[in-house]
């Protein structure tokens, strides 16, 4: 039974991607889906679902080619309403080349600044040394030479 539910989840993942492109979900992200589906099954034999929007293709590294993003915000489990998220947000997994980076967030968008693609992430207010409901964002750019995301922490003068 567990294997059938995981296969259904993976089939859903493939159909979401197929609607956008004729490519298969990379194995690193497919493993994230399998882990999430298994966590749901393990919690009171729940049924895992993945909604449209879970898989996004967008340019993350300024190379004008679409990379992969997997958003757990669009995962659900019949036996655990908050299994994949909390007040802190949900996990998103950003894949550039073979490298997957994951971050807890409350939403994200890609923007272009000059020649760079910039990832803007809404995060929990405690990331800004404030309360949970305080607006707080982080900005990151992909450094292809170091194969990592780069962000800066700044202080405003008043």
Is position 157 within any domain?
A: no
Is position 124 within any domain?
A: yes
Whether 128 and 119 have beta carbons less than 8 Å apart is answered as no
Query: What mean pLDDT value characterizes the chain?
Result: 88
Residues 6+ positions from 56 with CB-CB distance below 8 Å: 68, 69, 70, 71
pLDDT of residue 75: 98
pLDDT of residue 32: 98
CA 133/CA 125 separation, integer angstroms: 6
Mean pLDDT of 31-35: 98
**How many separate domains does the chain show?**
1
List the end-to-end C-alpha distance of the chain, in Å, as a whole number: 60
pLDDT of residue 133: 86
Domain span holding position 44: 2-150
CA 137/CA 54 separation, integer angstroms: 21
pLDDT band at residue 23, thresholds of 50, 70 and 90?
Answer: low
Higher pLDDT, 120 or 10: 120
Higher pLDDT, 8 or 45: 45
| Neighbouring-strand partners of residue 148 | 143
Is position 94 within any domain?
A: yes
pLDDT of residue 5: 45
9 has pLDDT over 70? no
Higher pLDDT, 99 or 127: 99
- pTM reported for the whole predicted model: 0.83
pLDDT of residue 22: 42
pLDDT of residue 21: 47
């Amino acid at each position: 039974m567990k294997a059938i539910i995981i296969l259904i989840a993976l089939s859903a993942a493939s159909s979401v991607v197929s609607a956008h492109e004729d490519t298969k979900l990379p194995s690193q992200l497919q493993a994230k889906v399998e882990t999430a589906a298994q966590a749901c099954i393990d919690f009171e034999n729940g049924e895992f679902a993945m909604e449209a929007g879970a898989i996004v293709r967008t340019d993350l590294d300024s190379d004008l080619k679409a990379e992969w993003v997997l958003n757990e915000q669009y995962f659900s489990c019949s036996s655990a309403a908050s299994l994949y998220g909390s007040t802190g947000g949900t996990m998103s997994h950003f894949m550039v080349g073979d490298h997957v980076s994951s971050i807890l967030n409350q939403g994200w968008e890609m923007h272009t600044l000059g020649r760079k693609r910039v990832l803007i992430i809404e995060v929990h207010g405690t990331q800004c040394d404030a309360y949970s409901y305080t607006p707080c964002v982080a900005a990151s750019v992909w450094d292809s030479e170091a194969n990592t995301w780069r962000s800066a922490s700044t202080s405003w003068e008043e």
